[in-house]
């Protein structure tokens, strides 16, 4: 009895569910169909605000941690305007980006806080990766000390070199007599970083970079170290100091013409020498052949003069109109060449 | 007593000093560890929810509208005057003690940064007390019903969202075809075979399933028109869930109840999905979530009503929804300044941004969920497979035994290798050699699976080894084959232990950053990934990047919100796994 009752129940439910299925099927036939090329139906509404936008594809960007905030700010705006273009930005260090990703053809752009090196050019050539160099902005490499110290306001290039060269000064009074007889604590960029390369080239030259320091890609770590000790010194890109001016004390640098403090103005006017430097991004030629990459590169160059974004949000010096024009010309020539 | 002198009677007496010292040392060790972790989490929570700026009035309002009613509910469920008296005493005494201590430290020692005494009271007294009362309340029938209901609703929603997330990456059309041609006919055949015992239908079911799924993969290439996503999810997820709910309830409470329990949530889900679609919300996702939540709740409701005990517990959801609403009304009416939490809906649904206020974690959350889903499946299958083979099938003596032992030692050593090394392995093997791409979901998941594989293998082995040999011998004695013994005796017994090991290992995988950096996972992506081969970011990557942003709002607000999100996802995952484990334990 019980079993026949069960069977009865299931029979009816199956019939009911079949009816429900038939209903659903009818609805499907009634016009709720979609084509598989249309992509994800739930996202279809996103396309509406793109208007005539037909760009789609992916853009892979890696490289310098110094350029990372600028590049991701530009990418954010571009992604908002072009929802079908997916952009990813990685912070790998200039050298790490060139050797691990860009020159083996894995990324479309590589950011760098110094020009591409000879051995990187070679690696790119071996893998048939062609590229052009675009100037992104100007940075003022900033040397910082603890905000509580009053015995130091500026350093000459030579003194800076004594602190950071391969065989460095051990205590502060070895650098300048009036400085205290305390050991120097150093916090600086790791050797995969373009900041490291730039610092060596323009301050120490042949004398090389000391190994006796805390090396990191994270500006935050440098700042933490310097705020932790009155006898610490560190260097990094301008952006961190620009956003946290009270947390650290930036030293003025004396290049023979009196001490100059790092700021957007001194870097733009070229007075802050030798530590104001250009930041770069390197698009690969084959990627520029794709329309969405080319469009992104154009957008990037056009944004390099945007003061709100480059100076206000990120803390670098925007490019001048002339630089932008010449960069745009270079880019257009390259795009012309690849797209024919 | 505490002396080393032997007594006259011949029984030696031993000093208890060492034992007591040891006891307090271990107590100290555990307190120190937990306290440090606790303080860290408190600060992260304070930053994430901006509690430092929460005014005392705001905290008081929500304390009265949400916390007090909830505690009252728990106490009602316990129904023991002593517990009530103790709870009230703890609330009152804790208030005096914390406020006094806090003010004392601030005046005499040093100011405590970014905390005030109401927030300290919240973390030191209210939250632990709430947790404790939730636990004891859950022992009572009323509390168990209320919390069970909440648990099913939250669990259903979480599963629904996870399913929706997976379909961002996996092709829903393939799934539709596979379900229609493979899964559905196979299940139908299986059910038919169970009804009218004809062995041929039962054996045909898996064959039909596999053939159907293969057919689906090929058909995907040629078929280009499909039902809308809403209909696909209705047909492949909502209706099966409703049918299962209906079956469960019909078996217990009869046909009408069954139809109600299956039909009402389904109707609600369909209506919700269509309506949401018309106002621009993601209809298919809402359909799945409503169907899962509705069915789980309906099945549970029917059981509770049938039992007829602790019906008052069903009021708990009302309490938890009404409380914040009333709180918001009061706060709005009085104009009490509310804190502006970093961890809000926008944070969970928006893309990363250079502005701390607009920054969101959505693409990274999706990335992490998908990665962890693949890692869970892969490492469970590979880990359990290896463990079963090593424990049940290899010989213990002779040459094979020696080889097995060498293999064992190597696996145990692999567990101690730094994760960066696995990252390099993944980079070389999956990204370069197999060409799965730099930083794609597949590369990342495979690398992370390798990383946690040794842990899953070793813990699964331990679990299998702990199954008493008598069980196996008993099964052998009844003429079972080794496969039958493994399937019916060993694995069910070992499952809770295996699951525990897998949960711990997955927890490690979701938080890893170093191997992701090595295989080239992106630091920041701006849209959710849409295939297994698109570039991924994961939560730890994005949090790591934010921690280095120059703006202090990122370091003290957005990072904390990211950490909280990661923790919640982790706890949700572990909670699910622990529930599964408990069920497995009860089953065996």
For A197-254, the pLDDT digits (tens) are: 888 888 888 888 888 888 887 888 888 889 988 999 999 888 888 888 888 999 999 8
Q: How far is CA B287 from the centre of its chain?
A: 22
Cβ-based neighbours of B215, under 8 Å, separated by 6 or more: B177, B181, B182
Q: Tens of pLDDT along A70-93?
A: 998 999 999 888 888 889 998 888
Helix or strand or coil: residue B393? helix
Rounded to whole angstroms, the Cα distance separating B456 from B388 reads: 12
CATH 2.30.30.30 fits A142-274, yes or no: no
Per-residue pLDDT at B163 exceeds 90:
no
Per-residue pLDDT at A27 exceeds 60:
no
Distance from CA of B231 to the nearest CA of A (A): 7
Characterize A131-165 residue by residue with b for buried, 16 or more Cβ atoms within 10 angstroms of its Cβ, and e for exposed: bbebbbbbbbbbbbbbeebeebebbebebbbbbbb
Q: Tens of pLDDT along B168-220?
A: 888 888 888 888 888 888 888 888 887 777 667 777 778 888 888 888 888 88
Rounded to whole angstroms, the Cα distance separating A300 from B467 reads: 63
Question: Of A173 and B576, which is predicted with more confidence?
Answer: A173
* Exposure on the CB side of residue A307, measured as CA atoms within 13 A: 5
Q: Are the beta carbons of B71 and B133 closer than 8 angstroms?
A: yes
**Enclosing H/E stretch for A139:** strand A134-140
Quickly count: other Cβ atoms within 10 Å of residue B468's Cβ.
9
Rg (CA), chain A: 28
Of A36, A220, A313, the CB nearest to B548: A220
A86:B526 CB<8 A: yes
Neighboring chain A residues of B259 at a CB cutoff of 8 Å: 13, 16
Neighboring chain A residues of B255 at a CB cutoff of 8 Å: 9, 12-13
Residue B39: φ, ψ to 5°: -65, -40
Neighboring chain B residues of A108 at a CB cutoff of 8 Å: none
Of B173, B522, B547, the CB nearest to A90: B522
Residue A110: the pLDDT is 93
Q: Give counts: helices (H), strands (E), chain B.
A: 27, 2
B231:A24 CB<8 A: yes
A90:B521 CB<8 A: yes
Per-residue pLDDT at A17 exceeds 70:
no
Per-residue pLDDT at B131 exceeds 80:
yes
Residue A20: the pLDDT is 56
Q: Are the beta carbons of A267 and A139 closer than 8 angstroms?
A: yes
Neighboring chain B residues of A47 at a CB cutoff of 8 Å: none
**What kind of fold does domain A55-138+278-339 have according to CATH?**
D-Maltodextrin-Binding Protein; domain 2 (3.40.190)
Cβ-based neighbours of B392, under 8 Å, separated by 6 or more: B464, B482, B486, B490
Distance from CA of B525 to the nearest CA of A (A): 4
Token readout for A248 is 């650290």
Rounded to whole angstroms, the Cα distance separating B49 from B58 reads: 13
Cβ-based neighbours of B149, under 8 Å, separated by 6 or more: B297, B300, B301, B304, B313, B314, B316, B317
Q: Are the beta carbons of B350 and B362 closer than 8 angstroms?
A: yes
Of A42, A217, A243, the CB nearest to B551: A243
With a CB-CB cutoff of 8 Å, which residues 119-138 of chain A face chain B?
Answer: none
Least confident among A150-154, B94-98, B255-259: B255-259
Of A20, A62, A219, the CB nearest to B550: A219
Rounded to whole angstroms, the Cα distance separating B273 from B265 reads: 12
What pLDDT band is residue A4 in, cutting at 50, 70 and 90? Answer: very low
Distance from CA of A243 to the nearest CA of B (A): 5
Rounded to whole angstroms, the Cα distance separating B537 from B544 reads: 11
Helix or strand or coil: residue A232? strand
Cβ-based neighbours of A239, under 8 Å, separated by 6 or more: A66, A69, A139, A219, A314, A315, A316, B550
Chains A, B: CB contacts under 8 A, how many?
151
The DSSP letter of residue B314 is: G
Instruction: Please report where in the chains the tokens 């060449």 appear, as a residue.
Output: A337
Q: Looking at B80-123, list the stretches that DSSP marks H as alpha helix, in order from N- to C-terminal side.
A: 81-108, 117-121
For chain A, the structural domain boundaries read 55-138+278-339, 142-274
Percentage of residues in chain B with pLDDT exceeding 70?
98
* Exposure on the CB side of residue B33, measured as CA atoms within 13 A: 5
B interface test, pick of A89, A217, A220, A316 with most B CB neighbours within 10 Å: A89
Rounded to whole angstroms, the Cα distance separating B202 from B187 reads: 10
Helix or strand or coil: residue A73? helix
Mean pLDDT of chain B: 86
Residue A298: the pLDDT is 92
Which residue in B has a C-alpha nearest to residue A20's C-alpha? B239
Neighboring chain A residues of B231 at a CB cutoff of 8 Å: 24, 27-28, 32
For chain B, the structural domain boundaries read 1-43, 51-139, 144-345, 362-587
Which of B348, B258, B345 minimizes the C-alpha distance to B542?
B348
Q: Tens of pLDDT along B272-315?
A: 888 887 887 788 888 888 888 888 888 888 888 888 887 888 88
Instruction: Please report where in the chains the tokens 């029979």 appear, as a residue.
Output: A11
Residue B588: the pLDDT is 54
**Enclosing H/E stretch for B296:** helix B283-307
Angle in degrees, CA B335, B336, B338, rounded to 5: 120
Rounded to whole angstroms, the Cα distance separating B300 from B298 reads: 5
Q: Looking at chain A, list the stretches that DSSP marks H as alpha helix, in order from N- to C-terminal side.
A: 2-29, 68-81, 94-96, 118-126, 157-164, 172-175, 194-199, 219-228, 238-243, 264-269, 285-288, 291-303, 307, 321-339
Residue B225: the pLDDT is 78
Instruction: Please report where in the chains the tokens 């040999």 appear, as a residue.
Output: B469
Q: Are the beta carbons of B348 and B362 closer than 8 angstroms?
A: yes
Percentage of residues in chain B with pLDDT exceeding 90?
13
Quickly count: other Cβ atoms within 10 Å of residue A207's Cβ.
15
Of A32, A79, A219, the CB nearest to B526: A79
Least confident among B30-44, B189-203, B288-302, B520-534: B189-203
Rounded to whole angstroms, the Cα distance separating A180 from A232 reads: 12
Which residue in A has a C-alpha nearest to residue B276's C-alpha? A42
B195:A28 CB<8 A: no
Which residue in B has a C-alpha nearest to residue A30's C-alpha? B227
Q: Which CATH superfamily is domain B362-587 in?
A: MetI-like (1.10.3720.10)
């Amino acid at each position: 009895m019980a079993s026949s009752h069960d069977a009865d129940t299931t029979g009816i439910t199956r019939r009911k569910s079949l009816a429900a299925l038939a209903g659903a099927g009818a609805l499907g036939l009634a016009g709720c169909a979609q084509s598989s090329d249309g992509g994800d139906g739930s996202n279809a509404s996103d396309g509406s605000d793109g208007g005539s936008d037909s760009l789609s594809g992916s853009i892979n960007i890696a490289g310098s941690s110094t350029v990372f905030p600028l590049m991701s700010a530009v990418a954010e705006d571009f992604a908002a305007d072009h929802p079908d273009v997916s952009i990813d930005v990685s912070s790998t260090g200039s050298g790490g980006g060139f050797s691990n990703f860009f020159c083996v053809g894995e990324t479309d752009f590589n950011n760098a806080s110094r020009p591409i090196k000879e051995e990187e050019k070679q690696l790119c050539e071996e893998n048939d990766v062609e590229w052009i160099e675009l100037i992104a902005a100007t940075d003022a490499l900033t040397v910082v000390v603890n905000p509580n110290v009053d015995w130091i306001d500026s350093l000459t290039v030579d003194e800076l070199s004594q602190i950071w060269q391969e065989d460095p000064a051990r205590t502060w009074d070895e650098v300048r007599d009036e400085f205290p007889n305390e050991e120097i604590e150093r916090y600086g960029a790791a050797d995969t970083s373009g900041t490291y390369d730039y610092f060596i080239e323009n301050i120490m030259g042949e004398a090389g970079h000391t190994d006796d320091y805390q090396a990191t890609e994270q500006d935050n770590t440098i700042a933490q170290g310097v705020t932790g000790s009155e006898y610490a010194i560190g260097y990094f890109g301008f952006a961190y100091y620009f956003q946290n001016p009270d947390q650290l004390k930036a030293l003025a640098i004396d290049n023979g013409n009196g001490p100059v403090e790092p700021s957007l103005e001194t870097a733009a006017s070229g007075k802050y020498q030798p530590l104001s430097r250009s930041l770069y991004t390197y698009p690969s030629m084959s990627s520029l052949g794709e329309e969405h990459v080319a469009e992104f590169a154009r957008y990037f160059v056009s944004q390099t003069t945007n003061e709100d974004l480059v100076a206000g949000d990120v803390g670098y010096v925007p490019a001048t109109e002339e630089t932008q024009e010449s960069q745009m010309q270079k880019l257009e020539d390259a795009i012309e060449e690849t797209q024919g | 007593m505490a002396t080393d002198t032997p007594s006259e009677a011949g029984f030696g007496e031993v000093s208890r000093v060492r034992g007591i010292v040891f006891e307090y040392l271990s107590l100290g060790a555990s307190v120190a560890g937990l306290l440090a972790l606790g303080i860290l989490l408190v600060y992260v929570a304070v930053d994430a929810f901006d509690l430092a700026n929460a005014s005392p009035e705001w905290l008081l309002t929500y304390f009265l509208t949400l916390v007090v009613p909830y505690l009252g509910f728990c106490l009602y469920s316990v129904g023991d005057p002593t517990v009530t008296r103790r709870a009230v005493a703890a609330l009152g005494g804790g208030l005096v003690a914390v406020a006094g201590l806090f003010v004392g430290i601030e005046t005499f020692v040093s100011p405590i940064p970014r905390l005030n005494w109401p927030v300290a009271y919240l973390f030191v007294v209210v939250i632990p007390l709430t947790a404790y009362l939730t636990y004891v309340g859950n022992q009572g029938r009323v509390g168990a019903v209320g919390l069970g209901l909440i648990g099913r609703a939250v669990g259903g929603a979480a599963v629904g969202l996870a399913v929706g997330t997976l379909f961002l990456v996996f092709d829903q059309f393939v799934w539709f075809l596979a379900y229609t041609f493979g899964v559905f006919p196979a299940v139908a055949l299986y059910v038919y075979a169970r009804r009218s015992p004809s062995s041929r239908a039962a054996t045909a079911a898996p064959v039909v399933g596999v053939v159907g799924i293969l057919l689906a993969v090929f058909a995907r290439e040629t078929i280009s028109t499909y039902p809308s996503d809403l209909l696909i999810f209705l047909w492949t997820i909502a209706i099966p869930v409703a049918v299962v709910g209906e079956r469960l309830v019909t078996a217990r409470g009869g046909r009408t109840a069954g139809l109600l329990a299956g039909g009402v949530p389904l109707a609600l889900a369909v209506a919700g999905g269509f309506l949401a679609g018309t106002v621009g919300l993601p209809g298919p996702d809402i359909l799945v979530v409503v169907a899962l939540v509705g069915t789980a709740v309906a099945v549970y409701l029917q059981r509770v009503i049938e039992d007829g005990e602790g019906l008052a517990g069903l009021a708990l959801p009302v309490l938890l929804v009404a409380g914040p609403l009333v709180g918001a009304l009061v706060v709005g009416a009085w104009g009490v300044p509310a804190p502006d939490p970093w961890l809000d809906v926008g944070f969970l649904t928006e893309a990363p941004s250079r502005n701390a206020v607009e920054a969101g974690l959505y693409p990274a959350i999706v990335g992490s969920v998908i990665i962890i889903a693949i890692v869970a499946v892969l490492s469970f299958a590979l880990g359990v497979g290896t463990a079963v083979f090593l424990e049940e099938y290899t010989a213990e003596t002779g040459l094979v035994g020696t080889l097995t032992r060498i293999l064992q030692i190597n696996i145990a050593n692999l567990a101690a290798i730094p994760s960066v090394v696995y990252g390099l392995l993944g980079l070389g093997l999956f990204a370069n050699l197999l060409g799965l791409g730099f930083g794609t979901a597949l590369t990342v998941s495979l690398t992370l699976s390798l990383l946690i594989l040794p842990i899953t293998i070793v813990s699964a082995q331990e679990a299998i080894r702990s199954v008493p040999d008598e069980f196996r011998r008993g099964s052998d004695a009844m003429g079972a084959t080794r496969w039958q013994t493994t399937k019916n005796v060993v694995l069910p017994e070992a499952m809770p232990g295996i699951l525990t090991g897998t949960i711990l290992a997955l927890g490690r995988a979701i938080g890893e950053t170093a191997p992701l950096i090595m295989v080239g996972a992106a630091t920041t992506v701006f849209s959710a990934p849409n295939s297994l081969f698109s570039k991924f970011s994961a939560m730890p990557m994005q949090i790591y990047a934010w921690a280095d942003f120059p703006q202090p709002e990122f370091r003290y607000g957005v990072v904390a919100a990211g950490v909280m999100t990661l923790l919640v996802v982790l706890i949700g995952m572990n909670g699910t796994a622990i529930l599964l484990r408990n069920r497995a334990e009860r089953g065996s």
